[in-house]
Amino acid sequence: MAEAKTKPTTASIEEYLASRASSEQLADCHALVALLQRLTGEAPRMWGPSIVGFGSYRYPLASGKFGESCATGFAVRGKELVVYLVAEAPDQTALLAKLGKHKFGKACLYFKRLADLDQRVLEQLVSGTLAELRRRYG
């Protein structure tokens, strides 16, 4: 089995952001760092080459081994920012409808600017994600 590429690294978050984010995105990225750090109580660190992650959890694999991932995080993807969330439960889905201008797929919340989103709803989505991960994986 191949080794996971998305694991914690010692890469510089500031260097990653400087190399990928526009000036408008950079301001939003710093706001996301502050928000996610406050909600998780964890310092940010790079996960793989392109995810600024917060916290971690272990999940079982079919092989009987365990994988590890950041509990939440974000990335710069071209002209969009992506926040990683678990939003499968009906209450989380209802929050997505109130969030503002975005796209959502699997566990990826895509948006162009934080100003397009209701910040309180985003906080609820992240808090819900953290609660769901604790419920599932301890």
Mean pLDDT of 110-135: 97
User: How do the domains of the chain map onto residue ranges?
Assistant: 13-137
Topology annotation, domain 13-137 = Aspartate Aminotransferase, domain 1 (3.90.1150)
What is the value of pTM for the model shown? 0.93
Question: pLDDT at position 138, please?
Answer: 86
> 3: pLDDT confidence band, cut at 50, 70 and 90?
low
> Are the C-beta atoms of residues 52 and 96 closer than 8 Å to each other?
no
Instruction: For 28-61, give the secondary structure using H, E and C.
Output: HHHHHHHHHHHHHCCCEEEECCCEEEECCEEEEC
Please state, rounded to an integer, the average pLDDT across all residues of the chain: 94
> Are the C-beta atoms of residues 73 and 54 closer than 8 Å to each other?
yes
> Are the C-beta atoms of residues 71 and 39 closer than 8 Å to each other?
no
Mean pLDDT of 9-15: 97
